[in-house]
Amino acid sequence: MIQKDGSFVLFSGSSHEGLARGIASELGASLGKILRETFPDGEIGIQIQENVRGKDVFIVQSGARRPNHYLMELLIMVDAFKRASARSISLVLPYFAYARQDRKEKPRVPITAKLVANLLEKAGATRVLTMDLHTDQIQGFFDIPVDHLYARPLFVRTFKKLALKNLIVVSPDVGSNKMARKFAEDLNVDLAIVDKRRIGADCVETSAIIGDVSGKNVLLVDDICSTGKTLRSAALACRKEGAQSIRAAVTHALFAKEALEDSGIEEVYVTDTIPQDLRGVKSISTAPLFAQAIDCVVHAKSISSLFTADLEENYEEIDSVSKKRP
């Protein structure tokens, strides 16, 4: 059970105050006071408006939509907390921006995910708490503890309740295969894989499906939906192979442009790691999960119990916390 604890304080960056407030509410805490201003030349100024000396500080900042602005703001906040003598500075990053630039896939390109990790650590962050990183290896870009949460249990719980017959989990590309396999195992259904080739930042090509989706209710799963081309192209391929219905579950709904319009996907389930208006998608709150994770950090409890132990047991606990919301 989450307990109110005066030893930690939760602050929000400007990227996703709604989620930060949700996490605070789950923890029975209120958000710390901070003043933000923009100078006439565009520079960011902040001032922490309460004493944080000797406190464990948690900062919620999601990197979507204005990644460069939110990253700079976060670095400035971390610097301010460090200089205000916070005991520790944990970053709650529901969506880790630049995660897709995690390797040199062609010559003379940066590894920006590593650069971001270096910047955060150099600024003074002592821990990162994040969700569904594009690849697990990004944890290794940091030399501080990284607690990596998964949205899968939230989606699995939702789909178990829907109890769809003839369900099959489909990975829209080989990169999402590991995630899709875990979904299939948790839901106890078959798995199929779409063979996707990215031709450019804005263009994908699908050639074949490995597995049989004919007559099945398809659940496409992916960590990110940006232009929607990956999911749209996978949905078209499934439809062509005779799928009965198509749904999608996406952790980070970047939804650039008119993603997923006319994709033929009947229902899209997302989480709230990125702020969005909810038209046309079903959003699942991650606030209880992040609150539980913060509680684990503060009270030195195991976080892995949030995704490896019995799902129902964990989420019954989260439900009971959620009911306490005002």
Of 179 and 303, nearer to ligand R5P (C-beta) is: 179
What values do phi and psi take at 36, rounded to 5? -120, 140
Question: Does 226 participate in binding ligand R5P (rule CB under 6 A)?
Answer: yes
196 a catalytic residue: yes
Half-sphere exposure for 54 (CA within 13 Å, toward CB): 2
Q: How far is the CB of 133 from ligand R5P (least distance, A)?
A: 11
Contact letters (x/-) for ligand R5P, 154-173, by CB under 6 A? -------------------x
Residue pointed to by tokens 């990253």: 71
Q: Which of 55, 182, 196, 229 is catalytic?
A: 196
The H or E element that residue 70 is part of is: helix 67-83
Output 115 or 256, the one with its CB closest to ligand R5P.
256
Q: Which of 175, 211, 264, 275 binds ligand R5P (CB under 6 A)?
A: 175
Q: Is 263 in the site for ligand R5P (CB under 6 A)?
A: no
Site string for ligand R5P, 190-209 (x = CB under 6 A): --------------x-----
The CA-based dihedral angle spanning residues 198, 203, 208, 213, taken in that order and rounded to the nearest 10 degrees: 120
12 near ligand R5P (CB under 6 A):
no
Span of 36-44, 224-232, 295-303, 313-321 interacting with ligand R5P by CB under 6 A: 224-232
Using the minimum distance from each CB to ligand R5P, give the nearer residue, 57 or 191: 191
139, amino acid identity: Q
- CA-CA distance, 186 to 290, in Å (whole number)? 21
Q: How would you classify the pairing of strands 203-210 and 217-225? A: unpaired
Rule CB under 6 A: choose which of 26, 73, 223, 241 binds ligand R5P.
223
227 binds ligand R5P, rule: CB under 6 A: yes
Stretch that binds ligand R5P, among 61-69, 118-126, 227-235, 266-274 (CB under 6 A): 227-235
Regarding 133 and contact with ligand R5P (CB under 6 A), the answer is no
User: Distance (Å, rounded) from C-alpha 285 to C-alpha 23?
Assistant: 10
- Nearest Cα to Cα of residue 81 among 131, 8, 4: 8
Is residue 86 classed as helix, strand or coil in its secondary structure?
A: coil
Output the smallest distance, CB 197 to ligand R5P, in A.
12
Query: How many whole angstroms separate alpha carbon 234 and alpha carbon 229?
Result: 8
Question: DSSP letters along 192-232, please?
Answer: EEEEEEEEETTEEEEEEEES--TT-EEEEEEEEESSSHHHH
Give the one residue of 176, 206, 263, 286 binding ligand R5P; rule: CB under 6 A. 176
- Which of the residues are catalytic? 196
Q: Which residues bind ligand R5P (CB under 6 A)?
A: 100, 173, 175-176, 204, 222-230
